[in-house]
Amino acid sequence: MQKKLTILLFLATFILTAQEESIKRPVEFDDVFASRVFAAKGVNGLRSMEDGVHYSRHTEKGIEKFEFKSGKSKGLLIRNGDAIDTEGNDLPLKSYTWVKGEKKAIIESEIQSIYRHSYSAKTYVYDLESKLTTNVASQPIQNPLINPKGTSIAYVYRNNIYIKSLLDSSKQKITNDGVLNEIINGAPDWVYEEEFGFHIGLSWSDNGRYLAYYRFDEKEVREFSMDIYGNELYPYPSVFKYPKAGEDNSKVEIWIFDTKEQKQNKVSNGINYEYIPRINWSPQGELIISTLNRHQDSLTLIRYNPIGQEKHKLLLETDDSYVDADHGITFLKNGSFIWMSERSGYNHIYLVGPRGKKIKAITRGDFDITKLFGVDENNGLVYYQAAGIDPSQREVYKTSLRIRKPIRISPKTGWNGGTFSSTYSNYILNHSDANTPKKISLCDNSGEVIRILEDNYELQERLSKFNLSPKEFFKLKTENGQELPAWQIKPLNFDKNKKYPVLMFVYGGPGSQTVENKYGGRDYWYQMLASEGYWIVSVDNRGTGAKGRDFKKCTYLELGKLEVEDQISAAKTLAKNINIDSSRIGIWGWSYGGFMAANCILRGSDVFKTAISVAPVSSWRFYDNIYTERYMRTPQENGLNYDVNSPINHANKLKGNYLLIHGTGDDNVHVQNSMRLSEALIQANKQFDFMLYPDKNHGIYGGMTSLHLYSKISNFIRENL
């Protein structure tokens, strides 16, 4: 009897398990783009306080202080209603920045985006001791920056720099020549912001006496104009300066304003350069000016003493192809500094002496350091992220400045990122892999977990309701002899007796990666396609990142040649798989990936049936000069390679199905690229599909736009692949 009962219980359990499995359903379009079922929670807004033991965070009560270790509140620093605008209204506290000493905070409201990083906002300074709110300016301003002593604030308004006293509210105008599309003070021009990645062109010295600032003379830079359609009767032009490849740049200068002597001094005189991608103040009170030549193969650090006004060369970094602008320069108290360089063949960390003479490698090995988190000088430790185990993943490490022994303080697998407290005593670890949502933990600096901040348990519960195909990572040995990083999502309920169509996703640009073992991205849209029988694959071609200098820079001077050869060869290799329908291989990409997808279906017309290009570059002649010339030099020097790898010049080779998509308000990759490519296809009498999104920028989003965009792409794939 007992045996029969056991058998019955086993059968009941088996049936229930089978029923649970049958309840699982495939991913649908609305799950991804309407209900956002797969969105992971994060831990946002934490700002480490100066003691390294506490952090502040915006809560429903205001700006609140918490203890890292316990997570317990230690009270409100700024209550809702404490900070008020000029009309007595409560200021929103979500966007705030602490001033050194944490006795004051900058609070911004009515934020309006300008370009990728820049914005304007109504700006206030709240004093925690006096409980008073100071209105910095009556109009929205840019780049508010309080001096280290907390006594005055510099900012930019209409291309000019102002300094306002926080003691008596007096104000002085530091520059007077700022004019739209002519002279910019205290902020970068469009191309610097986009390609050198900063929007604040102001920097206070540590003692608060000197304000260094950028001045851009862009009068000789040619204008680009985009029509904005909006809701008005007549469109209006958006006009801005955009230097295309081979064209004139802004004339850039660095100036210093001495608040004590009330004098201005141009400090970039006598230096030979084309670009100044960075300025930094050293602990010794010297301004360190980073300069690049036009070819971007020679970067020089210049140290400038504002007291004696002497200039001396500090360091020279060169490369046969190009040198990156950002090297994570971090100064120590004695004037020596941390510097990242690819001089060994991989990106590593070096300790450079105060005068640039002695250079010591802190990290070594056949792997790339991908991010410098900072230096704990008190304990002689440097913290960083590296692709130390495999290019598809990241780990967090610490290394002694003396011993050079790396210690991994994060999990061995997946993607790991860190946000460190100001004293480096602990850090917030973000960990995920391609099939597991991110888990956010507070760890000490040895990697021990103190507490879990977010485990995304609810998301994992939701994921358990879906029938998913795992994302798998592998190395693809292609026909042209390359071994390339790749991932795949096979069709759901994969049948070894069937053949399936393949959709490849590509980006492929210098230093980029799509083969990353982390959660998110477009993976659940790909899961939807996998449930419909599509096999999704992505391959990182030559020129991509985290595999060393030579792999990344081998595409120099020939963008679109080796990368396209690798993608075509990868498709041919995949086509040999007995479960892949070689007549149904497609490829899609965005931006550089759009350039790649266009080239693939044109130059690989015998391989690809379908391609989709979103916001593609169609000729590097149309793109900005800092990015393009870094990899191609100028069209005047290298025009043949600009043209031979441009899809415009291969339009007559189109055989398959092609969808071209662009936003008309794209200030980055202009719609001109798609207009010129479409005209080439028309004149070659080639049929294709074309979709424009009015006034949408490079990201093509807003309102129902993303839903419409991915509906368009999904339907095109279903109908043509």
pLDDT in tens, 353-412: 999 989 999 999 999 999 999 999 999 999 999 999 999 999 999 999 987 789 999 999
Say whether pLDDT at 535 is over 90.
yes
Q: Provide mean pLDDT across the span 214-222.
A: 98
Q: Which residue in this structure is represented by tokens 């507490």?
A: 451
- Measure Cα distances from 325 to 20, 301, 305, 338, 351 in Å: 54, 11, 23, 15, 18
pLDDT attached to residue 44 = 81
pLDDT at residue 6 in the model: 43
For residues 161 and 168, the model is more confident at 161
Q: How confident is the model at residue 222 (pLDDT cuts 50, 70, 90)?
A: very high
Q: What is the mean pLDDT of residues 128-139?
A: 94
- Is 131 exposed, middle or buried (CB count within 10 Å of its CB: 0-12, 13-18, 19+)? exposed
Say how far residue 615 (Cα) sits from the centre of its chain: 17
pLDDT classification of 517: cutoffs 50, 70, 90 = very high
Mean pLDDT of 231-259: 97
Q: What is the mean pLDDT of residues 17-44?
A: 82
425, two tokens:
């005593």
Q: Is the per-residue pLDDT at 685 higher than 60?
A: yes
Q: Is the pLDDT of residue 564 over 80?
A: yes
- Which pLDDT value is given to residue 521? 87
Position 441 scores a pLDDT of: 95
Residue identified by tokens 């017309």 is 605
**Average pLDDT of span 693-698:** 98
Cβ within 8 Å of residue 167, ≥6 positions away? 151, 152
**Can you tell me whether residue 644 is helix, strand or coil?**
helix
What is the domain partition of the chain in residue ranges? 44-175, 177-326, 470-720
Amino acid of residue 252: V
- Mean pLDDT confidence for 287-307: 97
Sorting pLDDT into bands at 50, 70 and 90, what band is 17? very low
pLDDT grade for 314, boundaries at 50, 70 and 90: very high
d(CA 520, CA 463): 13
pLDDT at 12: 43
Q: Given this model, what pLDDT does residue 22 score?
A: 55
Q: Note the CATH number of domain 470-720.
A: 3.40.50.1820
Q: Which three-class secondary structure state does DSSP give residue 223?
A: strand
* Res. 7 pLDDT band, cuts 50 70 90: very low
Asked if the model's pLDDT at residue 454 lies above 80, the reply is yes
Query: 331-348: per-residue pLDDT in tens?
Result: 999 999 999 999 999 999
CA–CA gap between residue 676 and residue 597 (Å, rounded): 16
Report the helix count and the strand count for the chain, using DSSP H and E.
12, 43
Contact between residue 147 and residue 166 where contact means Cβ atoms under 8 Å apart: no
pLDDT surpassing 70 at residue 4: no
Tell me how far apart the alpha carbons of residues 493 and 374 are, in angstroms, rounded to a whole number.
47
pTM, rounded to two decimals: 0.94
What CATH number has the domain spanning 177-326? 2.140.10.30
The rounded distance, in Å, linking the Cα atoms of 290 and 271 is 11
Question: What local confidence, expressed as pLDDT, does residue 46 receive?
Answer: 86
Give me the percent of the chain exceeding a pLDDT of 90: 93
Q: Which residue has the higher pLDDT, 35 or 680?
A: 680
Note the pLDDT tens digit of each residue in 455-500.
999 999 999 999 999 999 999 999 999 999 999 999 999 999 999 9
Residue 264 phi, psi dihedral angles, 5° rounding: -105, 145
Q: Please state, in angstroms and rounded to a whole number, the distance separating the CA atoms of residues 597 and 587.
A: 6
CB 105 within 8 A of CB 113: no
Q: Residue 86 above 70 pLDDT?
A: yes
Residue 50: count other Cβ atoms within 10 Å of its Cβ. 13
Confidence of residue 45 (pLDDT cuts 50, 70, 90): confident
Average pLDDT, the chain: 94
